[in-house]
Structures are given as C-alpha cells and as structure tokens.
Amino acid sequence: MDDVLVTGLGALSPLGAGTDAFWRGMHAADTAPLRVPDPLAHMDHPLMYLVPEADVPDGPEEQDGLPLGRGSRFALAAAREAVLDAGLAGPPAPDTGRDRGRDTGQDAGRDGVRDAGRDAGPDAPRAGLDPRAGLDPRRVAVALSSGMGDTDLHEGWWSGQAPASGRWAPTFPVASVVGGWFGAQGVNTCVSNACAASGYALSVAADLIRSGEADVVIAGGAEAYSRVALGCFNRLGAIDPERCRPFSAERRGTVFGEGAAVLVLESAAHARARGARTVYGRLAGAGWSCDAYHATAPEPSGAQIERAMREALREAGAGDGSGPGGLGFVMPHGTGTELNDVVESRVLGALAPRTPLYSVKALIGHTGGAAGAFAALAAALVLHHKTLPPNVPIGEPDPECAVPLPSGSAPMTGGYGLVNAYAFGGNNISLVFGEAAA
C-alpha cells in the first residue's frame, strides 16, 4: 500500500499566522485566554483563545457571490499556506489591477508562505494549482471540518449586529470555499461530527488516497468564535474560569480556541514523481470507534477509545518503547473536563505508560472541529524537527491522570506519534503519524 505523506502545512492560530509562529509558540509554552470582544456575550465565562486581531484575514468577504464568515476565511488562509508550502500553488491569476504585490508563486520562501495565508484578503488573486507539478485537478480533493462553520454570519444577522443579507449562506461551506479557490475538482467534503471532525477528515483524506480516488488531498479543520457555542458550554458548566489545563487537579472544564490547521496529504508515488521538496511525515494508521453510550459523556471504561488507539497503532506497525518502530509521543484529546481526562489517562497508562504527552489544548485551547487537525499539525512538526516542545504548565497534576507531561523540551525517542480526538455522540478517532522514510 502506498504511503500517505504530509507534504505541506498551514496554520492560523492564537499563536499567530503561519506554522513558524505555531512552532515558536509551542516552545514558548506561554499563553492565556482573553475575554471575547462581543458585547452580547452575556455569560459567566466569556473566555477564549483568540487569533490575534492583526492576523485575522480581512477577507475575502465573499466568494462567487457567497458571503463568507470567519471560519471560511480562517480555512482559506491556512489552506493557502499549506498548498504553497507543498510547492503546489500556481502563479497568481492574471493581473486585474488588484494584486497587493505579494509573491504567491513557487519560490516565495517562508515569508511568502506565511503571508500567503494572512493576505487572503478581498483583493488577493486566486493562485490555483500549479500545472508544472503534474497535477490533475480531478484528482485533487478537499476534506475539511468545522464544528460551527460560518455561524458567526448568522449570529450577526439574527442579532442585528451585521446588515442582513438578501443572499442565502450555508453554515458549513469551508471545503467548497477552499476547493473553489484552488480549482480542486475531486471530492470536496466538510466533516462535522463535533470535536472529532478534523481527525475524521484526515482519515477520510488518507482513504481517498489509498483507494486511488485522489493523489492529493487538502485536509484539516477550521473553527471560529461562536456566541451560541460558547454560551451553550457555559450553560453546561463546562468552561474553566481561568484557562485550559487538561489533566490538572484544579481543572474545571475546557476553554475554546479558534483558528485553522491544514495539511496537504499526498500519495508517496505522486510526491516522488513531482519531486516534493519537503516531507514532514506520513499518516501511517487510523482507527475509528463509537462509544454508543451517551450524547455528551464518554463511556467510563474507555473500551472504545482504546479500540481506536490499538487499531491505529496496529495499522501503522508502531509498538511501545523507544527506537524507530516505537511510539515517541502522544497528542491527547484531553480537554480539561473531569471524566474525559480521567478515562483517556487510564487507557494511555495501560497502553503506553512511559510515552510522553504534549497537550495542544493547554497551549491554544479546545479548537472544536479543528482540534484533531491542530494536534496532527503539531505531530508533523515534532516528527520533522525530532523534538518534543515543553508543555504549558498546568499546575498540580490530578493523581487520577497519571500521564507524563514533560515541562522541558526533549529529543524525540520513537519514530511515531499518536493523535487522539473524541466528540459528543461518542465519536472517537486515533491517528498515528510516522517519520518520513529516509
């Protein structure tokens, strides 16, 4: 079976625009949520890890007559960076007098990659896919996810904060927006099974490649501030009043984050044929399961999340312990909610007791439908740099969550990383990423 490689990365997060900013932020390990700048956020804890205002894309406000919300703009920014990073972005569309002077071609370099995501503004020309890369647009697919999509548009219209639009706007257009921007004529699908969604999207992407349906898939997730979502979790009593601190004895819930993480997945044969310039790693295994237990609570024994982890590890051929064939780290789901963290900790303690964890949510909060994609992006960066950054300090660890959370940076000791993502409805997914073949 042909390997599924990660050949491009893109991110827009509370750490700033671009994967370089994300990697630097992982090492700085110093973040905090902010009060959302929404005068109608009448709730006990209106806190969130927000994309810095200077990095929020100023457009496009619409695409082909379709109004776009914050989630779609985030997705497009991250996708533009990922496609450019993979060396698949074509030259800008013919000059219409609107080009803002940014180089979006093949030789833009890291600064160009960063700016390509941030500057997807109202006047930015569509770059499309590069025909020089031997791409057949019919074999380029998009699999993106979101928990709330472009709900911010509708919330603005409902509340009168934004002028009402006479045009219909779907809530979940993120995949079609990205597919339309690049002219991807393969499968374009938006996955939305809550907080496992982007993990599922990445698995769907790998299946499309392994089944021969696609050569390249633009995959990941995007999530933006939603008053409805934050209000609902406040009513559930599931928001921590201070910060997101998974596995801490003092945790009192989760705290949301926003942004987008996108990975370009590509068949190894296609990547070799075009001479892909960077391979961050490979998506080596995936496992799905469902608790079939409760609408919101995890099944207490953890049997189904263990099943998903074991299946992903089996498919990848990864074992416990150090060395190229061993599991070097885990990106846990761990949200900061009481039962979720305990159940996952128990399973990990039995399955991989010595494997260090890196908590992405302690860094940028719980990004909902994009959480699995951010964890996958972090895993790809760790594999590429062969270094596990320090965790954000969480305070006193919960004795019921006996998992190793290193406080300092350390070299990677195994060739694989496990990513977990779980969701309401009992939806579970585990992904295993491996080092790129030499």
Is residue 426 within 8 A of residue 290, CB to CB? The reply is yes
Round to whole Å and give the CA distance between 255 and 367.
9
Is residue 426 within 8 A of residue 305, CB to CB? The reply is no
Write out the DSSP string of 273-294.
Answer: HHT-S---EEEEEEEEEE--S-
Round to whole Å and give the CA distance between 211 and 338.
39
Please name the residues in contact with 373: beta carbons below 8 A apart, sequence gap of 6 or more: 145, 198, 199, 201, 202, 219, 220, 221, 260, 261, 262, 263
Round to whole Å and give the CA distance between 165 and 173.
16
Six token digits for residue 188: 């374009």
Which of helix, strand or coil describes residue 369?
A: helix
Round to whole Å and give the CA distance between 29 and 410.
14
Please identify which of the residues 195, 270, 384, 401 carries the catalytic annotation. Answer: 195
Instruction: Give the type of residue at 349.
Output: G
Judge whether 333 counts as a catalytic residue.
Answer: yes
Adjacent-strand bridge partners of 239: 254
Pairing of strands 4-13, 259-267: antiparallel
Judge whether 195 counts as a catalytic residue.
Answer: yes
Judge whether 366 counts as a catalytic residue.
Answer: yes
Q: Name the residue with tokens 């990073």.
A: 85
Round to whole Å and give the CA distance between 92 and 141.
21
Q: Name the residue with tokens 């051929």.
A: 317
Please identify which of the residues 244, 333, 384, 401 carries the catalytic annotation. Answer: 333
**Cis peptide bond prior to 389, omega within 30° of 0:** no
Which of helix, strand or coil describes residue 365?
A: coil
Q: Name the residue with tokens 């945790």.
A: 251
- Alpha-carbon distance values, 210 to 138, 184, 205, 277 (Å): 16, 18, 9, 22
Is residue 33 within 8 A of residue 230, CB to CB? The reply is no
Residues with catalytic function: 195, 333, 366
